[in-house]
Amino acid sequence: MKVLVIGSGGREHALVRAIAMSKKADKVYCCPGNAGIAELAECIDIAPDDFESIINLVKYEWIDVTVVGPEAPLAKGIADAFEKEGLKITGPLKKAAQLEASKVFAKEFMKRHGIPTAEYRTFTSPIHAEEHVRLKGAPVVIKADGLAAGKGVIVAVDVKEAMDAIDLIMKKKAFGSAGDRVIIEECLVGEEASFMAFTDGTTILPMVSSQDHKRVYDGDKGPNTGGMGAYSPAPIVTTELENVIMETIIEPTVRGLKKEGIKYKGFLYAGLMISDGKPYVLEYNCRFGDPETQPVLMRLDSDFMDILLAIEEEKLDRIEIKWKKNASVCVVLASEGYPGDYEKGKEISGLDSFKSDDDVYVFHSGTSFGDSGNVTSSGGRVMGVTALGESVREARDKVYEVINNIRFDGMYYRKDIAHRAL
């Protein structure tokens, strides 16, 4: 069976690895991929939003299944384009992807279906948004409505920060048209967790829990990023709380969409705030999270292709997904300056130091090949060092030990990933 993965980040590297490990996968392709993915798949330089070229590739190479990694192609309707051509793809249709593509849609959807989330107001005028902040006070959370690569959410601890966030998003258009509308919501206090699930539109099977670190600096300080690290399991998500999350959030989401004539197939992510023991939805993603995918799929003990095919064939109720009892930790190595401006083309060394350890894997996020064929940095998040261990502490120690051997100019990483679980 031939499989195509769309995307070029650490999440896609983890997906490619999980697929390549399956006996059912004869060949794996990736568009466009990266230097690490190239070790496992044939990388083809086609942009994720070039639907016509991707569909032509699928037809020409007789690719059986396509898996979408990033959110942008889903929001633009790649699943709809594949469905029109009668091709198999794992990922929700454009209408369903609105859960992530529009925070306003998601908030209104949650309100209609009684799904717990923070109180909010929506604004299309920066003047009205500023007036609301003056009346409401702070702290508040300012969110760009559209896709902003995980950076369109600003937690404002005082009124000045809130005003600056409105100015950045709505006036300066830091995230383009994604900031045409903003949501201003109450700032929930608690502990965040990531909850992901597989669904074929009817059956829902949860993945193991995880937690990520969004802020760029130690101590959860600094601006939000796409994620500086993650670990699994998340101790705060007990078996009892998992049941509550499924009953009050995940199941009502899939049912609610179905009730509105929208079938959701693929991977569903809920970013949660656990406040006073109760889960609230901070955001939805219509795909695997990044970097949560890396530690979560490291723990998968079932054939990933079996899951993908069960989703496609709507037979998810016929399989059982097994997970390793180990814990896992992923620490992101970033370029100096990320999530702001950063330099590319830095040569990376030390990538062979860990390859004899089956419990350690380095997932490439932003890498390419230099002129001499060496691996170089090409993104803000460059790679995610991930390890399994008997405990979170053991997995974390392995990760940082490997990191000591990896080098590139300007390499930055957080030193406190998984601190909540220790």
Q: How is 134-170 classified by DSSP, letter by letter?
A: HHH-SSEEEEESS--TT--EEEESSHHHHHHHHIIII
User: Could you tell me the fold of the domain covering 2-93?
Assistant: Rossmann fold (3.40.50)
pLDDT score of 151: 77
> Can you give the residue ranges of every domain in the chain?
2-93, 125-180, 191-318, 327-421
pLDDT score of 164: 95
The closest of 364, 390, 391 to 379, measured between CA atoms, is: 364
Amino acid sitting at position 183: I
Q: How is 326-378 classified by DSSP, letter by letter?
A: -EEEEEEEEETTTTS------B-B-TTSSTT-TTEEEEESSEEE-TTS-EEE-
The helix or strand, by DSSP H or E, that contains position 279, with its residue range, turns out to be strand 278-285
Cβ proximity of 145 and 183 under 8 Å: yes
Residue with tokens 């179905």: 258
Q: How far apart are CA 303 and CA 284, in angstroms?
A: 26
Cβ proximity of 28 and 42 under 8 Å: yes
pLDDT score of 354: 73
Cβ proximity of 28 and 16 under 8 Å: yes
DSSP-assigned letter for residue 37: G
* Contact partners, residue 361, CB within 8 Å, separation at least 6: 17, 294, 298, 354, 386, 387
Q: How far apart are CA 276 and CA 189, in angstroms?
A: 9
pLDDT score of 356: 67
Cβ proximity of 334 and 408 under 8 Å: no
Which two structure tokens, joined as six digits, stand for 176? 């383009």
For residue 182, give Cα distances in angstroms to 120, 146, 219, 367. Answer: 10, 9, 27, 33
* Contact partners, residue 121, CB within 8 Å, separation at least 6: 132, 183, 184, 185
Amino acid sitting at position 54: I
CATH number of the domain located at residue range(s) 327-421 in this protein = 3.90.600.10
Is the CATH number 3.30.1490.20 carried by domain 125-180?
yes
Query: Distance between terminal CA atoms of the chain?
Result: 42
Torsion of CA 172, 176, 178, 182, to 10 degrees: 10
Instruction: Please tell me the pTM assigned to this model.
Output: 0.94
pLDDT score of 268: 98
Interval 184-201: pLDDT, tens: 999 999 999 999 999 999
pLDDT tens sequence for the chain (422 residues): 999 999 999 999 999 999 999 999 999 999 999 999 999 999 999 999 999 999 999 999 999 999 999 999 999 999 999 999 999 999 999 999 999 999 999 999 999 999 999 999 999 999 999 999 999 999 999 999 999 877 789 999 999 999 999 999 999 999 999 999 999 999 999 999 999 999 999 999 999 999 999 999 999 999 889 899 999 999 999 999 999 999 999 999 999 999 999 999 999 999 999 999 999 999 999 999 999 999 999 999 999 999 999 999 999 999 999 999 999 999 999 999 999 999 999 999 999 877 767 899 999 999 999 988 899 999 999 999 999 999 999 999 999 999 999 999 999 999 999 998 98
CATH number of the domain located at residue range(s) 191-318 in this protein = 3.30.470.20
Torsion of CA 143, 149, 155, 159, to 10 degrees: -60
Phi and psi at residue 49, in whole multiples of 5°?
A: -100, 5
